[in-house]
Amino acid sequence: MQNNCKRIDTTEHDTIKPLVDCNWEQEVEIYDCIKGWCHEKWQLTLTSPQSLKLFIEDVGCPGDFFELYINDEHIGTTFKPNTWGYSQRGELSSGIFIVSLSPGTYSIKVRNAGFDDHSAEEILKEKMCPSGFKIKGTLSPLIKSVK
């Protein structure tokens, strides 16, 4: 299991977080209050086949839910909360996504889909933005099956 991330030097203004063969965890705020795109993206480089487990959870206001994209392909969406902004058990939206990846470089990005049903005026009036989420990426080696 990888615990330490080999970070590539970037300037403080970069919105791309380079990661090489590592696990990571980060809490992020979204300031794009219209389309809901996160200003930070992660560039994950793998040198061997890996299974990537991504956990995404809302840490902001009730009612937000999030879409996950890898290389611009929609991977999945955390659950859409009920009208009160929570799950039936009273939890904020979250989701776990597991993908198998070959060696290579992958772009990972997240969008708050909770803004889709609201106008810009409503988002401003209700102080829905910025919103926040936590992302945790965990790698594990892919095991070849025996025939």
| Residue 144 located in a structural domain | no
CATH number for 120: 2.60.120.380
| Residue 11 located in a structural domain | no
Q: How far apart are CA 36 and CA 129, in angstroms?
A: 9
| Residue 145 located in a structural domain | no
pLDDT in tens, 101-131: 999 999 999 998 887 877 778 777 777 777 8
Structure tokens at 58: 């809302």
Strand order in the sheet with 24-30: 24-30, 131-141, 50-58, 94-101
pLDDT in tens, 15-40: 888 999 999 999 998 878 778 888 88
What is the separation of C-alpha 108 from the centre of its chain, rounded to a whole number of angstroms? 7
Q: Which residue has 């025996």 as its token pair?
A: 146
| Residue 7 located in a structural domain | no
Kindly tell me the sign of the dihedral angle through the C-alpha atoms of 58, 138, 109, 27. positive
The range of the structural domain enclosing residue 51 comes to 16-138
| Domain count of the fold of the chain | 1
| Residue 99 located in a structural domain | yes
| Residue 8 located in a structural domain | no
Burial class, 87, CB count within 10 angstroms (exposed 0-12 / middle 13-18 / buried 19+) = middle
pLDDT in tens, 28-86: 988 787 788 888 899 999 999 999 999 999 987 777 889 999 999 999 999 887 766 66
| Residue 65 located in a structural domain | yes
| Residue 49 located in a structural domain | yes
